[in-house]
Amino acid sequence: MRKITKSLQIEDIPMSIQLPQNERNRQNRPTRNEGKRQTTHDRRLEVIDLQRFPEEKTFSERYKQDDLKEKLKKLYHNKCGYCEQYSESWHVEHYRPKNGGYAWLAYSWDNLLYCCPTCNEHKGSQFEIRGEKAFYIASDLPSIHALGQKYNAHEKPLLLHPEYDLVEDDFVFDENGQILTEQITNERLIYTVSEACKLDRKDLTDRRKEIVVDKLVQDINAVILKNKNNQEVMQTKIQGLIEVFIATSHRETEEFTVFRKYVITHFLQKILLKTLSEIS
């Protein structure tokens, strides 16, 4: 889970969920985008009045508009905000659950995340807090797209938010991609990993190892076997391979960047020496 930078400036919020303009020229018909914006706001006000989120499609489709989905996909580099896997099928997820007592935030930009179906299923409507629960007040409406930090201050949620929380340095992995929660001291990270999103699930651990460690070992082996009769060329090629691996690990478009960086810091030399010894 790496930190995502999302602008909360009005011009960067998808048009389909923006608040309507306070003043509009009544001589002109609303544009298509303005119509979408007004429709979403109408649903928002209905949800606020109902104090719950209805199941009808007319409500759920408002946070699934194309402009919103495309912007989230781009911001998250087509990776789940929690597990960092690419996902062909993904969900617009609510950090504060729309069916868990936060219906008024169903169309709020800083409450909407890019999430894979598996993390979304595990997370569900879980949202434990250590403080007092936020509730809707009318004076919050003008700031409806940027209430997260205000609520976080007094709710003290356990679930991490990919856009607010920087926790890369708090992760501890073993060489096989397993998250070692017993060695992590950040309570919120432990909750997010083990209880909310199950980021220590076996299939995900195996994929981290396959995509990062196994691929690196395979690439090193290929270079060694191809150049085993020329030590100088072999060393140069391996050095180039390691440099590419390090550079790649800092690209936001890559899967599992947090684990990649951990491997560089803690396991890279060990992996390299072990691979060389097995070949010789």
Confidence check: pLDDT of 128 > 50 = yes
Number of structural domains found in the chain: 2
Question: Is residue 16 in some structural domain?
Answer: yes
User: pTM for the full model?
Assistant: 0.91
CB 53 within 8 A of CB 98: yes
Buried b (16+ CB within 10 A) or exposed e, 220-248: beebbeebeeeeeebeebbeebbeebeee
Please state, rounded to an integer, the average pLDDT across all residues of the chain: 93
d(C-alpha 45, C-alpha 40), whole Å: 9
Question: Is residue 195 in some structural domain?
Answer: no
d(C-alpha 95, C-alpha 6), whole Å: 14
d(C-alpha 262, C-alpha 90), whole Å: 26
CB 102 within 8 A of CB 10: no
Instruction: Indicate if 62 and 18 belong to the same structural domain.
Output: yes
d(C-alpha 193, C-alpha 199), whole Å: 5
190-238 tens-digit pLDDT: 999 999 999 999 999 999 999 999 999 999 999 999 998 898 999 999 9
End-of-domain residue from the set 113, 144, 166: 166
Instruction: Indicate if 141 and 245 belong to the same structural domain.
Output: no
Instruction: Indicate if 28 and 128 belong to the same structural domain.
Output: yes
Instruction: Indicate if 103 and 223 belong to the same structural domain.
Output: no
Instruction: Indicate if 220 and 157 belong to the same structural domain.
Output: no
Give the pLDDT score at 193. 98
Question: Is residue 87 in some structural domain?
Answer: yes
Residue 206 lies in domain = 202-279
Give the pLDDT score at 33. 59
Question: Is residue 134 in some structural domain?
Answer: yes
